[in-house]
């Protein structure tokens, strides 16, 4: 009887096992949360407006706008951002959302790709991502992404830099504790691109990751590098199911 | 890139009822106290004055200093008996100027 | 979790370890306040400052100043000052006697370090009222450089 009770207890606890993952939103002070909640207060909306304008602008030798093919992004782009990065057949590698926007720009608009982290591509990324605000992060179950995700996890757990720290040490082991008065978040990319108070501007997940590399005094991989792509893929997999908040605000 | 501003007013504005105008301007508000990566002081480049006018009448103004955050946000309240054109004007260093106009119709 | 004194000192000393910068002195703050108030006596009260007690990043701190017990049209100006920014002035707001809807203004300010924020309101009758709030500013510990 005792053994049966024990077995039942173990089964039940397994079934109701808490998902203790949370977005960095939960770790922010109420004042900064309020900045994100109000579209009239969220500084990221400045870039969203820019992206909305760029979406409708004809460009390139093809003289086409995003809208010409995709119509109203609020409908057509809904569900897109949560499943990026995704595999791109023509290039045989995964693409981030910004990479996908660039690919469209080059292939379909016949215009030069945007510079990484440029106002134009960040605006478009914000406009496209916002169309999926509230939707759960949905990484594709695409086996071609598996080796990239595995590489991303290896990088995530690898000690790097002069401070000899791995992402996992702070963002898993010490998440919820404080570093210098700020709460250490779990590091889920739920709100990119986002307005970071530290940057006083909008930036991508790659910008944030490069900042982390600098933070542990490691050499930061270049924008668009395989390492950052692998990390993005792993992080989005790790955040699967959490709601997208783009465009978010963070301290 | 063209300067962007966001201006929010409530959807319905009523005669004699107070309403909030919320305005955000895209501007770095470079304080003049920061250094670049070579250690050189970045020169001050801020919005110095914000004015809201209804027609020609000044209805709200702000003198801004470097301690106003980047992408400056200002929210103020108006109570109007007549509609009109609300003009928001930001001016600052290096001849900076940006204007937004909002048509105000009162229910 | 509250910060103990050693931790507070540690974070507030961080900006001093970085590049040297100007800082408002008590004299410059007083001079700025006196310049604003003219000769008027400054009284405590009526003014309320809405600002977080603990701020994660001093780059953009929401701030509201509201004046109670006063019709919107009776408020002329509100000035905001800080004690430990490179300079004390933050902003001066001017209100319309005819068109002001509320005696309130919201903005976002920069705080270089933990310090005192002061708001002075001038009413139509020339009286000047003051409020102050102490804010603890923590800095990004993981410095991106």
HSE (side-chain half, CA atoms, 13 Å) at C110: 25
Judge whether C51 and C119 are in contact, CB under 8 Å: no
What lies within 8 Å, CB to CB, of B99 at 6+ separation is B87, B88, B89, B90
- Tell how strand A201-203 and strand A194-196 pair up: antiparallel
Q: Look at C100 and B77 and tell me if their CB atoms are within 8 Å.
A: yes
pLDDT of residue C123: 97
* Segments in chain A forming alpha helices (H): 2-15, 30-37, 44-55, 66-70, 73-76, 97-107, 119-130, 146-157, 167-168, 205-215, 226-238
Taking CA–CA distances from C19, the nearest residue in chain B reads: B35
CA–CA distances in Å: residue A229 to residues A83, A189, A209, C81: 14, 13, 10, 45
Is residue B46 within 8 angstroms of chain C, CB to CB? no
Taking CA–CA distances from C83, the nearest residue in chain B reads: B67
- pLDDT 10s digits, C99-124: 999 999 999 999 999 999 999 999 99
Residue B7 covered by a domain: no
Q: Look at B71 and A50 and tell me if their CB atoms are within 8 Å.
A: no
HSE (side-chain half, CA atoms, 13 Å) at B20: 13
Residue B35 covered by a domain: no
The whole-angstrom separation of Cα A126 and Cα A117 is 12
| Domain locations along chain A | 22-251
Ramachandran region, residue A241 (left: φ > 0; alpha: ψ -120 to 50; beta: rest): left
- pLDDT 10s digits, B26-69: 999 999 999 988 999 999 999 999 999 999 999 999 999 999 99
Residue B8 covered by a domain: no
Query: Does the structure show a pLDDT above 90 at C78?
Result: yes
The whole-angstrom separation of Cα A196 and Cα C56 is 12
> For the whole model, what pTM was predicted?
0.90
ipTM of the complex model: 0.96
Tally Cβ neighbours within 10 Å of residue A215: 19
Query: Does the structure show a pLDDT above 70 at C140?
Result: no
| Smallest Cα distance from B48 to chain A, Å | 18
Longest dimension (CA), chain B: 57
- pLDDT 10s digits, B57-107: 999 999 999 999 999 999 999 999 999 999 999 999 999 999 999 999 999
Q: Identify whether A69 is a catalytic site residue.
A: no
Residue B6 covered by a domain: no
Substitution target from C21, C110, C115, C122 for chain B, most B beta carbons within 10 A: C110
Domain with B71 in it: 14-22+44-107
**Rounded mean pLDDT of C53-79?**
95
Those of residues 36-55 in C touching chain A at CB distance below 8 A are 52, 54-55
Token couple for C127? 């009286």
- pLDDT 10s digits, A26-80: 999 999 999 999 999 999 999 999 999 999 999 999 999 999 999 999 999 999 9
Token couple for A239? 């955040």
Q: Look at C52 and A31 and tell me if their CB atoms are within 8 Å.
A: yes
How many inter-chain contacts (A to C, CB under 8 Å) are there? Answer: 62
The whole-angstrom separation of Cα A250 and Cα A198 is 8
- Determine phi and psi for B104, rounding to 5 degrees: -110, 120
- Determine phi and psi for A30, rounding to 5 degrees: -55, -35
pLDDT of residue C6: 53
pLDDT of residue A19: 87
List chain A pLDDT tens, one digit each, 251 residues. Answer: 777 766 665 565 555 557 899 999 999 999 999 999 999 999 999 999 999 999 999 999 999 999 999 999 999 999 999 999 999 999 999 999 999 999 999 999 999 999 999 999 999 999 999 999 999 999 999 999 999 999 999 999 999 999 999 999 999 989 999 887 789 999 999 999 999 999 999 999 999 999 999 999 999 999 999 999 999 999 999 999 999 999 999 99
**Rounded mean pLDDT of C54-68?**
95
Q: Look at B58 and C94 and tell me if their CB atoms are within 8 Å.
A: yes
Residue B3 covered by a domain: no
Beta bridge partners of C78: C93, C121
Give the fold, CATH level 3, of A22-251. Answer: Cytochrome Bc1 Complex; Chain D, domain 2 (1.10.760)
Token couple for B20? 């909030």
Closest CA to A120 of A53, A205, A192: A53
Q: Look at C141 and A251 and tell me if their CB atoms are within 8 Å.
A: no
Residue A182: which of C52, C56, C59 has the nearest Cβ? C56
Domain count, chain B: 1
Q: Looking at domain C5-137, does it have CATH number 2.60.40.2470? A: yes
User: Which CATH number goes with the domain that contains B99?
Assistant: 2.60.40.10
- Tell how strand C42-44 and strand C128-137 pair up: parallel
| Domain locations along chain C | 5-137
Residue B79 covered by a domain: yes
């Amino acid at each position: 009887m005792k053994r049966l009770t024990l077995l039942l207890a173990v089964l039940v606890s397994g079934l109701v096992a808490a998902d203790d993952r949370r977005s960095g939103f939960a770790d922010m002070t109420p004042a900064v949360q309020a900045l994100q909640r109000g579209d009239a207060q969220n500084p990221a909306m400045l870039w969203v407006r820019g992206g909305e304008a760029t979406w409708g602008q004809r460009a390139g030798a093809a003289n086409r706008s995003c809208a010409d093919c995709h119509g109203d992004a609020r409908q057509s782009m809904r569900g897109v951002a949560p499943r990026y990065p995704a595999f791109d057949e023509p290039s045989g590698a995964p693409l981030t959302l910004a990479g996908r926007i660039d690919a469209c720009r080059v292939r379909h608009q016949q215009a030069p790709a945007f510079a990484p982290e440029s106002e134009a591509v960040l605006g478009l990324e914000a406009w496209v991502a916002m169309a999926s605000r509230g939707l759960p992060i949905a990484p594709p179950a695409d086996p071609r992404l598996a080796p990239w995700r595995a590489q991303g996890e290896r990088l995530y757990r690898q000690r790097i830099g002069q401070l000899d720290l791995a992402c996992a040490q702070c963002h898993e082991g010490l998440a919820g504790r404080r570093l210098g008065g700020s709460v250490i978040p779990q590091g889920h990319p739920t709100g990119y691109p986002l307005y970071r108070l530290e940057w006083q501007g909008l930036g991508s997940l790659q910008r944030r990751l490069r900042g982390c590399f600098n933070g542990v005094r490691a050499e930061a991989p270049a924008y668009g590098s395989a390492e950052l792509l692998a990390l993005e893929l792993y992080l989005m997999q790790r955040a699967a199911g959490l709601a997208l908040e783009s465009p978010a605000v963070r301290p | 890139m063209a300067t962007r501003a966001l201006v929010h007013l409530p959807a319905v504005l009523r005669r004699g009822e107070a309403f909030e105008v919320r305005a955000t301007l895209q501007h770095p508000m470079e304080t003049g106290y920061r250094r670049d990566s070579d250690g050189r002081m970045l020169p001050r480049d801020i919005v110095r004055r914000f004015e809201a006018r209804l027609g020609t009448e000044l209805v709200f103004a702000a003198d801004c200093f470097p301690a106003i955050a980047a992408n400056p946000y200002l929210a103020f309240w108006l109570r109007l008996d007549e509609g009109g054109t609300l003009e928001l004007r930001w001016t600052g260093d290096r001849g900076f100027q940006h204007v937004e106009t909002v048509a105000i119709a009162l229910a | 979790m509250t910060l103990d004194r050693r931790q507070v000192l540690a974070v507030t000393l961080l900006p001093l370890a970085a590049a040297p910068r100007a800082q408002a002195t008590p004299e410059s703050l007083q001079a700025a306040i006196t310049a604003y108030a003219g000769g008027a006596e400054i009284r405590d009260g009526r003014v309320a400052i809405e600002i977080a007690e603990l701020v994660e990043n001093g780059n953009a701190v929401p701030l509201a100043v509201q004046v109670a017990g006063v019709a919107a049209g009776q408020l002329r100006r509100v000035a905001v000052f800080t004690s430990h920014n490179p300079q004390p002035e933050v902003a001066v707001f001017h209100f319309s006697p005819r068109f002001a809807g509320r005696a309130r203004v919201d903005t976002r300010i920069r705080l270089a370090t933990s310090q005192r924020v002061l708001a002075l309101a001038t009413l139509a009758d020339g009286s000047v009222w003051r409020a102050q709030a102490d804010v603890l500013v923590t800095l990004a510990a993981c410095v991106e450089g």
